[in-house]
Amino acid sequence: MRAEVVVVDKKNPDRSVMEKAGRILKNGGLVAFPTETVYGLGGNALDPKASMKIYAAKGRPSDNPLIIHIAEFGKLGAIVSDIPEKAKILAKKYWPGPLTMILPKADIVPRETTGGLDSVAVRFPSDPIAQSLIRAAGGYVAAPSANTSGRPSPTLAEHVEEDLGDAIDMILDGGPVGIGLESTIVDFTEEIPVVLRPGYISLEMLKETLGEVRMDKGLLITDSSVHPKAPGMKYRHYAPKADLSVVEGSAEKVIRYINAAAAEAKERGETVGILATDETASRYKKGIVRSIGSRADEEEIARHLYEVLRNFDSDEVSAIYSEAFYTPKMGQAIMNRLLKAAGHKIIHISEEEEK
Ligand code: TXA
Ligand code: MG
């Protein structure tokens, strides 16, 4: 099966296309679609067979639960057994948007969709194509990111085609996504809300609305004895093919270190990839240099991260060196993904002897 790829106008999604996509989902098929964060791989959330198909298409372990996408707040009540007051407040502030909430599940949600858990992840995306598809499919679409398990999440329809073009029925191409990193996940099954995955909505923004909010311990400690609560966060996700190291320190020292590493590799007959910014790209003289965007625009950095990592996969590089991005608002989310891609390999240049 080769997926049918259809370009859809975000401002005015074609009715007949959306009806066709909705029918595919109602009949148990799979449709990839854009959201404001990353592209999702959709299936009917209330159909256990559709969820199993999603796991198979992605090559994803079936103990890693899916997010149910809704397009109307009123649809939430049927799939959860309780909506705590704080969850209502947060939904009011950030839905539709890049926020996923973990709540106790209702019986109609199959365990196949929740990876066997008693809780369910729910999100109300703001993308008009996503909303139109969810409505056409009957209201409940289970969707993980539309990448093969272990690859960076897709931020363009082309990425979905590359990974899943042979495994699904249809791809709705709505152009590049707006945010580029997956939604912030907040767990409401404990007394104090817990962030299980950082995203565009930062810890500070959540605290402003909810008061006390904790970060999942498994995100802060890289010690292997503490597991993140979101099953998906424990896997080595977003990994490029070549070994990636993040180099952290003052700009000048980072440039010097990476240039030295690139020169050494060249002597061995190897080429390195360098993940740089518009401000620094011209300072790297050897290797394949890709700019993620300007340091002045952290949203641009977030939007391009996965695309740049994917592009390095098509280069013959022996290793990749990346600058670090502790930017003010999205830095926590950007560094979470970048460090996961690097398997937490970080070189602190200030402590390290300079090359
Ligand atoms: O932005 C997004 O959230 C995208 C778009 C498509 O909506 N979706 C996405 O889904 O990133 P996925 O499956 O790639 O990531 C879902 C994460 C995984 O880490 C999973 O383990 C966690 O959410 N998760 C889902 N249900 C959970 C639950 N009941 N308890 C704890 N973690 C859960
Ligand atoms: Mg994913």
pLDDT surpasses 90 at 54: yes
| Lookup: tokens for 181 | 């990193």
DSSP state letters, 145-186: BSS-TTSPPPSSHHHHHHHHTTTSSEEEE--S-SS-SPPEEE
**Predicted local distance difference test score (pLDDT) of residue 350:** 77
Residues 6 or more apart from 164 whose CB is under 8 A from it? Answer: 3, 32, 41, 57, 58, 146, 147, 148, 171
Using most ligand atoms within 8 A of CB, pick from 113, 126, 129, 185 the residue to mutate for ligand 1.
185
CA-CA distance, 215 to 196, in Å (whole number)? 7
Q: Is 68 in the pocket of ligand 1 (CB under 6 A)?
A: no
Tokens found for residue 225 = 């004895």
- Among 60-64, 83-87, 316-320, the range with the most confident prediction by mean pLDDT is 83-87
Average pLDDT over residues 288-306: 97
| Alpha carbon distance 336, 327 (integer Å) | 12
User: What is the residue with the minimal CA distance to atom 13 of ligand 1?
Assistant: 144
Which amino acid makes up residue 105? K
Whole-angstrom Cα Rg for the chain: 21
Q: How far is the CA of 307 from the centre of ligand 2 (A)?
A: 14
What pLDDT is attached to residue 230? 85
Dig out the tokens for 279 from the structure: 């401000």
| CA distance linking residue 76 with residue 59, whole number of Å | 29
Query: What count of other Cβ atoms lies within 10 Å of the Cβ of residue 224?
Result: 7
Q: What six digits make up the tokens of 276? A: 């740089």
Residue 43 Cα to ligand 1 middle (Å): 14
Assess whether the C-beta atom of 147 lies below 6 angstroms from ligand 1. Answer: no
Task: Please give the structure tokens belonging to residue 66.
Answer: 């899916």
**pLDDT of 351 higher than 80:** no
Ligand 1 centre distance from Cα of residue 286 (Å): 38
Mean pLDDT to the nearest integer, 1-18: 96
In this model, does residue 354 exceed pLDDT 60?
A: no
Give the pLDDT score at 279: 97
User: Is residue 134 scored above 80 in pLDDT?
Assistant: yes
230-242, pLDDT tens digit by residue? Answer: 887 766 667 788 8
Residue 344: the pLDDT is 87
Closest-lying ligand to the alpha carbon of 235? Answer: 1
Average pLDDT score over residue span 255-279: 96
Between residues 242 and 228, which one has the greater pLDDT? 242
Q: Output the pTM of the full model.
A: 0.95
H/E element holding 23?
Answer: helix 15-26
The reported pLDDT for the residue numbered 1 is 76
